[in-house]
Amino acid sequence: NREWHLLSRPVGWPKPEDFALVEAPVPTPGEGQVLVRNKYLSVDPYMRGRMSEAKSYVAPFELGKVMQGGAVGEVIESRAEGIAVGDHVLHFLGWREYAAVDAGHAVKVDAQAAPLSTYLGVLGMTGLTAYAGLLRTASFKEGDAVFVSGAAGAVGSQVGQIAKLKGASRVIGSAGSDEKVRLLVEEYGFDAAFNYKSGPVAEQLREAAPDGIDVYFDNVGGDHLEAAIGSLNEGGRIAVCGMISVYNNTEPAPGPRNLARLIQTRGRIEGFLVGDHYDLQPQFVQEVGPWVASGALKYRETVVEGIENNLEAFLGVLRGDNVGKMVVKL
Ligand code: NDP
């Protein structure tokens, strides 16, 4: 059983020396627990926050201990009622090959109904993030023009497509390569997209959304947020989902210089955490599940193989190596 430990708290970009892949005994499940052989591990931007000491909405990872994260695996031993050997479960003890999981913290998933990895992505946490953030936090309504950053990523690609399926007047996305931009327009049906690395975001957004935007779904922060405020229409709404452009900063990033535009636009800006919106899960599965099954909503995954590459996969998400959800296959 190999597991990833955090050795020291990264300053700026995490370095390989901050981590170690450690050999540990396969855990013995206690009463009320199941032993799970993990098949897919999730790597997510928020994990960067847990590597730092600062208190956030989830506790920091402990030094010298195994890290945590979303995972899906097969139950190989059960000491819990209602979960049998051979069942597949979604749980939170990732970054390791084997986990003893409390039955109350394991959610059974159907390996026949959908590929196991999708329970970490398009049908899982990132999917619900897109759904809740767009529909609830940003109060999306038919006819809205929607701009989403990080648009080729797990959350962003789903935001754009849900908006389109629900009658957005225009969907604009930004991403970090021309290839990703092509994917947004040609495969995901975005009306316009641009590469934020090829020119000022504000200019490119104005060109892509000449009539302005009603919703901005922020995954990135920084100049993207300022650009979105600059293009916001009256009554516009900004859902702050993430700000990946600042996660490795060692100094606080300056705020948008044009915040005062929120006055004339009566604009609203609001952050949210997917954890507060699990009441939407049944509705999300009911509405988005069939779109995924029929292909009306497309998704990609970037699959990295092997526990030894778990850290590289995580760093890859911060670098933008991924298209769609990044997962590690064991
Ligand atoms: P993604 O699949 O979108 O992967 C992250 C992407 O961010 C990369 O692929 C990269 O794409 C992009 N990126 C990295 N650095 C920068 C930068 N400096 N500027 C612009 N883009 C950058 O990850 P997720 O879909 O899992 O997460 C997306 C966002 O949502 C993150 O900010 C995350 O923290 C947040 N989140 C928030 C949740 C909540 O409850 N509020 C829950 C889940 C996620 P590119 O090549 O385009 O640069």
Confidence (pLDDT) at 151: 98
Q: Which residue segments constitute the domains of the chain, with CATH numbers given?
A: 2-121+299-329 (3.90.180.10), 125-275 (3.40.50.720)
19 strand-pairing partners: 6
The answer for residues whose C-beta is within 8 angstroms of residue 52's C-beta and 6 or more apart is: 9, 10, 60
Question: Distance, CA 286 to ligand 1 centroid (Å)?
Answer: 25
Q: DSSP assignment of 301-328, as one string?
A: EEEEESGGGHHHHHHHHHHT--SBEEEE
Helix (H, G, I), strand (E, B) or coil at 126: helix
Question: Distance, CA 86 to ligand 1 centroid (Å)?
Answer: 34
3-state helix, strand, coil in the chain (%, to 5): 35, 25, 40
Question: Distance, CA 24 to ligand 1 centroid (Å)?
Answer: 32
Which helix H or strand E contains 101, and what residues bound it? strand 98-102
Question: Distance, CA 239 to ligand 1 centroid (Å)?
Answer: 14
The type of residue at 255 is G
Sign of CA dihedral 80, 82, 86, 90: negative
Q: How are beta strands 19-23 and 88-91 bridged, if at all?
A: unpaired
Ligand 1 pocket, CB under 6 A: 44-46, 126, 129, 150, 152-156, 175-177, 180, 196, 219-220, 241-242, 244-245, 272-274, 317-318, 320, 322
Q: What residue's CA is closest to ligand 1, atom 35?
A: 242
Using alpha carbons, list the distances in angstroms from residue 107 to 7, 70, 89, 91, 179: 30, 11, 5, 6, 36
Confidence (pLDDT) at 123: 98
- What ipTM describes this predicted complex? 0.99
Q: Which atom of ligand 1 is nearest to the CA of 174?
A: 47
Give pLDDT tens digits along the chain (330 positions).
999 999 999 999 999 999 999 999 999 999 999 999 999 999 999 999 999 998 778 899 999 999 999 999 999 999 999 999 999 999 999 999 999 999 999 999 999 999 999 999 999 999 999 999 999 999 999 999 999 999 999 999 999 999 999 999 999 999 999 999 999 999 999 999 999 999 999 999 999 999 999 999 999 999 999 999 999 999 999 999 999 999 999 999 999 999 999 999 999 999 999 999 999 999 999 999 999 999 999 999 999 999 999 999 999 999 999 999 999 999
Question: Distance, CA 319 to ligand 1 centroid (Å)?
Answer: 10
Confidence (pLDDT) at 58: 85
CA 95 to chain centre: 17
Dist CA 184 CA 186 (whole Å): 6
User: Which long-range contacts does 113-118 make (Cβ < 8 Å, 24+ apart)?
Assistant: 114/289, 114/292, 114/293, 116/39, 116/40, 116/72, 116/88, 117/40, 117/72, 117/301, 117/303, 117/325, 117/327, 117/329, 118/292, 118/299, 118/301
Residue from 50, 56, 155 to probe ligand 1 pocket by mutation (most atoms less than 8 Å from CB): 155
Question: Distance, CA 301 to ligand 1 centroid (Å)?
Answer: 14
Q: What residue's CA is closest to ligand 1, atom 10?
A: 320
Using alpha carbons, list the distances in angstroms from residue 123 to 118, 168, 296: 5, 22, 14
Q: What residue's CA is closest to ligand 1, atom 9?
A: 320
The type of residue at 253 is A
Q: DSSP assignment of 166-209, as one string?
A: TT-SEEEEEESSHHHHHHHHHTS--SEEEETTSS-HHHHHHHH-
Q: Which atom of ligand 1 is nearest to the CA of 240?
A: 41
Confidence (pLDDT) at 264: 97
Question: Distance, CA 42 to ligand 1 centroid (Å)?
Answer: 14
Question: Distance, CA 242 to ligand 1 centroid (Å)?
Answer: 7
Q: What residue's CA is closest to ligand 1, atom 17?
A: 245
Dist CA 140 CA 168 (whole Å): 8
Dist CA 321 CA 177 (whole Å): 10
- End-to-end CA distance of the chain: give it in Å, rounded: 12
Q: Which atom of ligand 1 is nearest to the CA of 244?
A: 32
Nearest by Cα to 68 from 45, 87, 50:
50
